[in-house]
Structure 1
């Protein structure tokens, strides 16, 4: 008969699963509008939020093609917009695209097989890296999301390219991931958020705020695209953001929470450096107010801000 001391003691807890690789695209049209999709309020992830189209890397669908391929596939699945190279042959009809989209989403058909059948090549070269975001370990579902920017006037596309488009695409379990997709100017999207008409998460708020200062006006210009390319090819495009919740007495007193980004004085930066957001949450758990604090120029000072942190550029 064995004693209690002979019983096997439980071993150390396994480490929490790492963040899932995913990809997201900020599609910019000729009117300086960006594509947003509205997540279903009952969705298990990002419920009721307005986000840029994107999703997780899928080994079956994406294989060895990489995250840019994932990004193009997810934009097609979630919005119906297909981004292909200008050298591709004639585009399929809307009916063919809709059927392919449903089949790909439900895993009845491989995205690459569909592209091959119609001699289409995904325009992965047109995707500009535009930061990477990593979900903090405190959350049960974690993602390591590569964000990209794509300009519609520099690629060939099928599907809608402006305005609103209602989308109700069934998922495997009969639910709905996305209930609508639409193009909207970043400044207008931010105004809708401040008016509590839409819900945004910190990464989308951060990037919409950044783009609103570049995509000024209702016509996309070469100068604006060049400025975004400068960001993409520099420290900004390579920046991996690991948000760190911090305590701030003033913010706590006002009911806010504070998240510090790379280079903030509370996240590896020099004293007085601000690279953070202040959030206030509503009853449903979604953010009702977000303020970005960034007291440096992302074009000329970001490299120096990040040089003191442990994050690799």
Structure 2
């Protein structure tokens, strides 16, 4: 999140939003490539997500599911008891375009097809607040979920080019694919794709847990342990620390850093190099404590009411 000068009147309360990390059986996560012409985060690879829409969403978990459907075509929903709804690609594509264009309410679409969103499968996986010196601010609840624990209509691995938004749907993303966290980070380091600090942070966290190319019960349990613990409840509000370092990297500190309520010597920060158009060309995480056992809860604010 690159710093942008803004007047006090522009530093509004962050907009509530949600994003979901979808992990498949191959330990790949779903990433969408935002249109380079998009107003927000153009050209960046992100997890699907967007802003809370009070007319369509009953919760931030619903927001994450709706936005995932709009942006990738993957629908995290299950048939209601006694029904056996199987929707064709044509029906799904028409619905996602109409929902995106606000011609169809997401809840109405689900109800008409006897579907319920798989909100119970979404596990809280940190919250992030855009720094105060950025023009447009968001308070994003990240979730993580696993396929096939969550039911889905749409693709579940690799690339599926016929499930991306069409231009007449108000195009937001130009591709959607599943990629192993380690591979995603490698592509980032090679300059093939770009991430913002929250996505880089969460991908690196998952890369340490989801090792190998087959998702195991033990790995799922470790992710669930993170979600249930202090990690899942962390609210991270990055702050710039001093001037850029000798390599021109901006230092962003997080709660729990020694400069942000953590014990002396604790590092919880990233070194970020911003390139053309404020896109990141490097995000180097410095975190020298165990996120399973050594998080200092007193250093973190409790989640704000969104």
Please say whether Structure 1 and Structure 2 have the same fold, judged by a TM-score greater than 0.5. yes
1:190 to 177, 185, 189: 185
State the alpha-carbon separation in 2 of the partners of residues 105 and 15 from structure 1: 27
* Deviation per residue, 1:115-156 (Å, 9 max, x gap): 011100100000000000000110110000000001012121
* Deviation per residue, 1:69-108 (Å, 9 max, x gap): 1111011000000011365632211100000000000000
User: In the alignment, does 2:77 pair up with 1:76?
Assistant: no
**Structure 2 residue ranges without an equivalent (≥5):** 1-7
Contact 2:79 2:114 in 1 (8 A): no
Q: Which runs of 4+ in 1 moved over 4 A?
A: none
Give the aligned partner of residue 150 of structure 1: 145
Contact 1:171 1:177 in 2 (8 A): no
2:211 to 194, 208, 216: 216
User: In the alignment, does 2:104 pair up with 1:109?
Assistant: yes
Give the aligned partner of residue 136 of structure 2: 141
Give the aligned partner of residue 311 of structure 1: 301
1:293 to 260, 279, 286: 286
**Displacement after TM superposition at 1:36 (Å):** 0.1
Contact 1:105 1:171 in 2 (8 A): no
State the alpha-carbon separation in 2 of the partners of residues 196 and 82 from structure 1: 31
Give the aligned partner of residue 240 of structure 2: 245
Say if 1:61 and 1:169 are closer, same or farther in 2 by CA, change over 3 A. farther
The 3-state SS of whatever aligns with 1:232 is helix
State the alpha-carbon separation in 1 of the partners of residues 156 and 63 from structure 2: 20
Contact 1:169 1:178 in 2 (8 A): no
Give the aligned partner of residue 282 of structure 1: 275
2:260 to 260, 267, 282: 267
Contact 2:235 2:300 in 1 (8 A): no
Aligned residues: 293
State the alpha-carbon separation in 2 of the partners of residues 243 and 130 from structure 1: 17
Highest Rg: 1 or 2?
1
Contact 2:97 2:165 in 1 (8 A): no
**Structure 1 residue ranges without an equivalent (≥5):** 1-12
**Displacement after TM superposition at 1:312 (Å):** 2.1
Contact 2:234 2:300 in 1 (8 A): no
Give the aligned partner of residue 113 of structure 2: 118
**Displacement after TM superposition at 1:283 (Å):** 2.7
The 3-state SS of whatever aligns with 1:61 is coil
Contact 2:126 2:142 in 1 (8 A): yes
State the alpha-carbon separation in 2 of the partners of residues 287 and 104 from structure 1: 31
State the alpha-carbon separation in 1 of the partners of residues 224 and 231 from structure 2: 10
Contact 2:10 2:135 in 1 (8 A): no
2:48 to 49, 53, 67: 53
* Deviation per residue, 1:156-200 (Å, 9 max, x gap): 11011111123243477x5x2100000000000000000000010
Q: CA RMSD in A?
A: 1.7
**Displacement after TM superposition at 1:48 (Å):** 0.3
| Equivalences for residues 33-44 of structure 1 within 5 A | 33-44=28-39
Contact 2:28 2:181 in 1 (8 A): yes
